[in-house]
Structure 1
Amino acid sequence: MNPARTLAMAGVTHSVLMEHLMADGNEAAAILVCAPSPGPRDRLVVRQAILVPHDACPVRKPDQIVWPGSYIEDAIEVAEPEGLVVVLIHSHPGGWLQFSRVDDESDHKVIPSIFEAFGHCHGSAIMTPDGAVRARLYYPDMTSRPVDLVTVAGDDVGLWWNDLIVDGVPAARPLAFSGGMTNELSRLAAAVVGVSGTGSIVSEQVARLGFGSVTLIDPDKVERKNLNRILNSTSKDADMGVAKVDMFAAAIADHRGDGVALGIADTLGTREAIETVGQCDVVFSCVDSKEGRMYADLIASAFLLPLFDVGVTIPTSGNEGKVSITDVCGRIDYVQPGGSTLSDRGVYTPEGLRAEHLRRVDPEAYRDELAAGYIKGIHEEAPSVITLNMRAGSALVTEFIARAFPYRHEPNRNYARSEFSLAACDEENYSEDEFQTKENPLLGRGAAEPLLGLPQFQLPKKAAA
């Protein structure tokens, strides 16, 4: 069953909490200010962590903490204007991932005071030395519901399931490529943006790996010129002008059944697409446009989603009228919220976005159109690139598996970007630390208006209210 309630945080936030809450073997406390996401799933994203200083707590022991209420007042001041959710978190240094009787009593004394100020939902959480987090949400009548899943998108993708915690001990993580991995994926939601050459290959893998739901986003229809590289497409689909997402959703239904795949036949730059992706657990970006990558980048930051982006190209050179291939290459980027973005890494730039817009509104710009294709410098209506796409698509999904079910000999942090050259039979990897990370005001913004901080998505005042 897919989780109804999820708490998501960035890896950088999780690291700060770990350092503070596990400082010295005594309990410590912090407050999470979280942004809600549009339903139907109740998905909270941690926007800010307010740390309660150790020396401000009159009592700190391995199994007890008393901390001043003034920090809750600070959190209320931050959260109330936007109707955000306040989650009180403290550590259990002994490693017991279970709410104690003392925790229950404390919540019933403290949380009603937050409801007196504002809100319809607030919560509490605990963290153990292994980084595991367990949370629950309270409602104004002080009934509570467990948070089904806590996710952390960092160098690794952390997943803690409430129903797999037995006697205060989380279940062991499933092995990569095992049936246990399949079982866990059946409870997660994936979004694939772009369902063409590379995207159809990624969608096929995601569906057959067993993701519980697969959201497909692409505005285009199947054409005969791309039948040689879009999996599951047929000449009938091309003749009928079937939307790529509808074609692929039907293919998934044939082997997975109805209700797994959702198709949105539009660009990612729409409110419906943005809000739907914000409900997912992981995003695979397989677009061939800078604007599409920009939206995926912004969504990952706002909704704290792990983002996996792929690009392929075949550069050429010309000499005396003869064109030759100089390389056949691909790029895989893993973007963790709070780390370097695709923008930070130069995957798209303001200049590139502007040039792309001009090319879109001026279809006669033939020279620019050439630069937009697979083979740089040659206009190919139906490039034979399915083998290259297979290589890149497999690397993209395998990168996700390496993050969620770690198996590498080296830390995943060393593989923020991977580039391969089939011409040189070579692969290079780049660490997260090799990229400059700029301040990111979108981090943990959630569905706050205007959506993604962009004026074009601002709801009219009446609708926003």
Structure 2
Amino acid sequence: MSFSLLALCGRDHDRLRNHLLPADGLEAAAILLCTISGGARPGLFVRSIILVPYLECGVRERDALVWPGQKLAEAQAQAEDEGLAMILIHSHPGGMFQFSHIDDASDLRVLAAARDGWCGSHPATLGSAIMVPDGSIRARTFEEDGRFVAVEEVRVAGDEIKHISPNQSLSRQPMAFGDGMGTELRHRRACVVGVSGTGSIIAEQAARLGFGGLVLIDFDTVEDRNLNRILNSTLQDAALGSAKVDMFARAVRAYRPDIEVVSVKESILSRGAVLAAAGCDVIFSCVDSSEGRQVADLVAQAFLIPLVDMGVTIFTRQLADGGVAVADAVGRIDYVQPGASSLLSRCVYTPDTLRAEYLARVDPTAHAAEVAEGYIKGAPQEAPAVISLNMRAASEAMLEYLARSFPYRHEPASSFARSVFRLGDGDVERFGEASFPPDELGLTGAAAQEPLLGMPGLCEP
């Protein structure tokens, strides 16, 4: 089976780089145990890493390495028990970004022996990879007929977002805002969850920036009250009750006939929507609900996808004459990398808010007043004039993604895990990744293992 993708989180990439490229300048080794996911974009998702101790390698030279049999046996036993793929990775300290003849002979011998001794209940999925000093990784699988087949791309979702192909290492990444960035984005697919206020603006940016694929997820239809804040929506769409995703897809195709747009007229809480999002390279969460954010959070962790979540709120205060005035207008942008903190650990949603939304479904009148408040707390509005605020938040969110994919900022990306802007005083506050506790859900790299996302309601029918 050939694979389009090998995905890993930034923290695992850092661990590998620190171990595989030690100061002695000699080759080093590690083993990747990966969840296997099929579908339209078959991928290998790193679930765990076994670092091979330097002293256990029979030989470690600048251009040669001998794998220790005991470590290979331990890794293979774990892969067999847990239904995982096993990828052997070693370093090329000299920087050669291709497999050598020595690699071919060694991998053939070691991987053929592993396949011959395979005792798992699932077929063996085996492969090898190399890492060079700039952190670039090249991977391949070992087929049953003895051939090696290249993995099309390696994706790293960390403080920075890295897409590495066999023909383009990290040292050759394009400059931000140039033609090269647009060319690179044509190989990427963005998922927008919620195609309404901020979501329509995110989707518009993604299409015009040049993303090659766009997955739009929203169950709702266009109404008259949406027209002042959903880009591309028309009176005809409102009159017909057009699905938001279909309306937006039509608009995008009018100026980007080359783009692949997938419209998913379902809630993100559905299995179909989850699997559609799982095939993307970035998820933009543009929903108001805690349940929607939870699922986007879990998809990002399980499928090792960077996630950008955003929200806007207008706070009000009571005037002495009984009127209402704006106290502040606030926007929040969170960048979430798998394997680090999550929206849950950052308290963007909590068990209490999830429980409240469940109760609201059971007894809709119980939360009617809270839901009606929407954007403006303390002053319910049918059609709030918030497009300018939404545009600020959505632009900041897209720029956050671009800054991590095509670095241009002067400060480390790890300093921008969360940004909060307040229009009342013009303040912008930033929080680094170290400000938040790590995620403890244990789904990192789980991919499509059943039950999907650990949620029985998403099980395959």
TM-score bracket for the superposition, by shorter chain length: over 0.9
Contact 2:192/2:283, CA 8 A, preserved across alignment: yes
Give 1:319 shift.
Answer: 4.0
Query: Partners of 1:336 and 1:427 in 2: how far apart?
Result: 22
**1:195 is aligned with what amino acid?**
V
**1:282 is aligned with what amino acid?**
V
Query: SS of the counterpart of 2:345?
Result: coil
1:242 paired residue number: 242
Give the alignment of 1:61-460 within 5 angstroms.
61-116=61-116, 117=118, 118=120, 119-164=123-168, 172-257=172-257, 260-320=260-320, 321-365=322-366, 366-371=368-373, 373-459=374-460
Query: SS of the counterpart of 1:356?
Result: helix
Contact 1:313/1:329, CA 8 A, preserved across alignment: yes
Contact 1:370/1:377, CA 8 A, preserved across alignment: no
**2:168 is aligned with what amino acid?**
L
Query: Partners of 2:451 and 2:75 in 1: how far apart?
Result: 23
**1:285 is aligned with what amino acid?**
S
Give 1:55 shift.
Answer: 1.1
Query: Partners of 2:70 and 2:239 in 1: how far apart?
Result: 67
Aligned residue pairs, count: 453
Give 1:401 shift.
Answer: 0.3
TM-score normalised by structure 2 residue count: 0.95
C-alpha root-mean-square deviation of aligned residues, in Å? 1.5
Contact 2:134/2:171, CA 8 A, preserved across alignment: no
Query: SS of the counterpart of 2:144?
Result: coil
Query: Partners of 1:361 and 1:146 in 2: how far apart?
Result: 50
Query: SS of the counterpart of 1:327?
Result: strand
Query: Partners of 1:219 and 1:350 in 2: how far apart?
Result: 24
Q: Give CA-to-partner distance per residue, 1:64-118, whole Å, 9 cap, x none.
A: 1112122222222222234321110001111111100000001110112232315
Contact 1:229/1:384, CA 8 A, preserved across alignment: yes
Query: SS of the counterpart of 2:441?
Result: coil
Query: Partners of 1:199 and 1:333 in 2: how far apart?
Result: 15
Q: Is the aligned partner of 1:39 residue 2:39? A: yes
Contact 2:311/2:332, CA 8 A, preserved across alignment: yes
Query: Partners of 1:197 and 1:416 in 2: how far apart?
Result: 23
Give 1:44 shift.
Answer: 1.3
Q: Bigger CA drift: 341-350 or 55-64? A: 55-64
Query: Partners of 2:282 and 2:146 in 1: how far apart?
Result: 32
Query: Partners of 2:25 and 2:451 in 1: how far apart?
Result: 43
Query: SS of the counterpart of 1:309?
Result: strand
Query: Partners of 1:111 and 1:46 in 2: how far apart?
Result: 18
Q: Identity over aligned residues, as a percent?
A: 51
Contact 2:212/2:259, CA 8 A, preserved across alignment: no
Give 1:359 shift.
Answer: 2.5
5+ long unaligned stretches in structure 1: 461-465
Give 1:62 shift.
Answer: 1.4
TM-score normalised by structure 1 residue count: 0.95
Query: Partners of 1:15 and 1:71 in 2: how far apart?
Result: 21
Aligned CA distance change for structure 1 residues 367 and 288 (closer, same or farther; 3 Å): same
5+ long unaligned stretches in structure 2: none
Q: Give CA-to-partner distance per residue, 1:285-331, whole Å, 9 cap, x none.
A: 11111110000100110000000000000011224522111101100
1:463 paired residue number: none
Contact 1:359/1:368, CA 8 A, preserved across alignment: no
